[in-house]
A and B are shown apart, each in its own frame.
Chain A
C-alpha cells in the first residue's frame, strides 16, 4: 500500500505522519503541494501545521493548491484520505467535509494529551478500535473549535459521520464535543487530534498505531490478502 503525505509551505507534522506510516511497515512519499498526479497512491494524509502561515484563515489558501484538485479526485474515487489538525481545516475549506473551524473558545493554544471516544468504528480509519472505546491522542491547536449549523449536525448524526468525540473536557468548545468527522461515504476523515504523535508508549501513547493499521487492514481486505504492497 502506498501512502502520500502532502506537504504545503508551513506543514510541520509531515515527518511524523511519514514515520507513522513507516512504523506500520508501508511505503510512503512526501508529495509537494504543486503536484498534479496522485494516481499511484492508495491513501493520502493531509498533515498538520500552518499551511501558508494560516493567513486569512487556517487552510483557506492551501485549499487552492494544485494538489488539492487531485485530493478531491481521490476522495471521489473512494481512496482513504485523512486530514489531521491543519489538514482537517484544509478539508473543511475544500468542502470535502462540512462545517468550519473557529478559534478555541478559551483563546488558548492547547497542546496536551486528550481522551477521545471512538463513536464510529465502521470506518476504514477506526476498524481496529472498539466502538465506544476511549483512546489517548494528543491535540495541538489554537483553532479546533468545530462549528456546523443544527441541520448539518443532525445530518452528521443521522449518517453516523461523527467518528471521534472528546471523552473528557472539550478543549476547544467544538459543537457536540466533536473531535473528528468523516464524509458520507466514510473515506474522508478530518480530526483535530494527532494520531501520528501517539505511535509509541515512550511518547505517552501508542493508541494512534491502530488508526494506521485500520487503514492498512481495510485496504488489504478490499484488495485481497495475497497483495502485500
Chain B
C-alpha cells in the first residue's frame, strides 16, 4: 500500500479571495509580518499498489483530470509506503 498526499493551491498569479481575507484578518489581529496567504486543499489517497512508478503516473493523471483545475490551480504530491 502507498499513501499519496496531494496539495492543491491557487496559482500564484490568480487572486485567492479566501487567502486575501485571511491575510486581512491576521493583519487586523496584529500579525503584521504576514505577507501573502494562499489557501489550498490537502487530500490523502490510499492506493492499493506498491509500485511507486505506476502510482506516480496514476496520481498525476488524477490531479490533471479531477483533483486540480489546472486553469487556476497548481498541484504537488508525495508518495510514501504505509
Contacts and interface: CB of A to CB of B under 8 A. Distances in A.
* A interacts with B: yes
Interface of A: 56-57, 60-61, 64, 93, 99-100, 102-107, 145, 147-149, 173
Contact of A56 (B14, B17, B18, B67): B67
A104 B21 CA distance: 11
Contacts, number: 37
A99 B71 contact: yes
Interface residues of B, number: 13
6 contacts: A56-B67, A57-B69, A60-B66, A64-B66, A102-B16, A102-B17
A147 B45 CA distance: 29
Contacts of B1: none
Contacts of B16: 102
A173 B15 CA distance: 10
Given A56-B41, A100-B72, A173-B15, 7 more contacts: A93-B69, A100-B69, A102-B15, A105-B15, A107-B17, A107-B21, A147-B71
A61 B14 CA distance: 22
A100 B17 contact: no
B71 A148 contact: yes
A106 B24 CA distance: 12
Nearest to B14: A147
Contacts of A106: 17
Nearest to B70: A100
Contacts of A104: 17
Given A60-B66, A64-B66, A102 B71 contact: no
